[in-house]
Structure 1
């Protein structure tokens, strides 16, 4: 492509002839001088029409792994920090290169990324600049970033949270693999869900091609809290070789964040997008969300899993309309058989005999999986200190607590009908 001349050249200006809003050109000019000095050639400056958040996240991962794909050529300003203090649950405090003010260079692609701090109109902000040897080099680099991001995403569950300052990205490691056989569900529901998951990610979706089925799927999991919806999703996440993104909807979810989320996940397809408590989607964003689901390509290669504790808040059109959620599965409270199985797996036989345990499974009718877990905790604590267990009292206390909680919900929750997806 023929290079067009620039009407305004920085070398021909000074502070008396150019408005202050072009002051960042001082930094750009110095960066380009560095390229010629260190690389022996100049790099072309590109304008990013969309944010570089995905590139930022990938660069952070590359830096944390001491990858040789990246170099730091220099910093822009000497009075702005070049290292950042971070904290995580594993390593406590860490020092790492700051994404801001450093000039990152990818020698294999002849591409440089700079997040430059700017001070204009009495305000401080950061602007992203991307440089490349040519268009071909930049396109190869962007494809590399997508491949790297997908590779990093396989390491855990990737969390996208809508905040007041935009979409926040983080990653949660799967420290404990939940086995499929440990998921307590009705057998037909469990089989149906896992079959659809396996066929979606098996051999590049060959099943969908064989039977001429659109390569996208959405399921909605609903039921009262504490019965394993989140546990089921974690089990799925740890058992498929595909990126898993957990999108946390908040009061800050907007049309912009919806677009950003689907832009991210579409690039990572085939993948799983998990949306917990989907009924909490702000009303002003719902039409945009539905239009996105209805888009021809927005869900291609995406296995969408939504959960809700309040299915009565969701309009049936969300479930019944093709292309949104194809199936809805009720995650019920465990029946006596499942309760008995769960209590055995928890190891209650170390405190109770088999007959008492069987009776306990009958007594705990109406308790959720989470409450059964608390039951185990309470029995273990009492046994640890007293070497005996008052099972009847513990069960009675848990059931009374559940009744009080439900009464409080009925008294304070004001349903104005369906909120209307």
Structure 2
């Protein structure tokens, strides 16, 4: 009687897929096994590393470019636009007052831009300040922060076991009918057994099942207020924190890495970043308003007549019109207007987006995650709300800018540290220097 366990021949489609996944070839007497999936992973990893390195390298160049733009625009104001304004207000009894207001406003805006730019550049996301803050955050959330190598190893093991069991439960819930899948609900002995056989089980799995496993990430099955573990820095990973692959640091409330700042934007410098964008937009708006008329007058009949007069006299005459540029001012006036218009439009979009994020209690990373969560919730007729929002625009603004100053003065220059912890505690603002303790049960739970 023939055995029923005899293997059936692969179909043509299955054979093609198998050949695409792995190919064996010889070179110089050596045999190599080449996996197309592995090659793609290596190429993507190499491309990612190259891009991150390039972004990091161009940082100093972009800093010089940003300072050059600020310098050119400031120089254009004092050497070209201010003399135009002097002639414009020549007959006004408030001439000196108006000129003083213009110049004071320019100095105020440029000073705020440079101040916030400097602090975006030099703010560190690691060091004693970070170490102290994460321990305060751990104490508020009821986490016993590991201090010794043994405690850190135990913390890592507990985290990996917890994530592994959750992944097993997630896969069990989504497994197809008729397929035997371990639900992962066992005790610690089951966890040890799974970790011990992980390498062999990966090889034994089918391609579709393995792909499903790889699609489940740790952050997908963690609660929004739950602590994780960062393998890159070998330390506990606070809620809302992410590892930045460009600066190679674990950053609280990571928003993004900004090459113009040569730094990651996160909890410690996000206020400076938003304020910088606001003042840049204000400065560009002012620049467009005062350079628009000189820009439009270039090529006019008055401009041509003034050039002829200048050429005939061999010197600069009095401007035929107060805001009419001389020929040698044409390039700077054009550059000034075009820079202000282009940078202003770009910063309007970027700055407006970050003001929106501030008012809604999100980072850029969380914004995209919340979009995904909303789609998932909508699919099951549920509503998703941002867990880090305090429920009002004013409270979310205070989360970033603090309450030490009224909201309309919170944009003024100040090197103060963040006033509140990087996330709400039990739905409310929690000051860094506030004494309170919460149980860890309040912050556990799987993600959506």
**TM-score (normalizing by structure 2):** 0.22
More helix by share: 2
**TM-score (normalizing by structure 1):** 0.23
Higher relative contact order, structure no. (Cα contacts within 8 Å, ≥ 6 residues apart): 2
More strand by share: 1
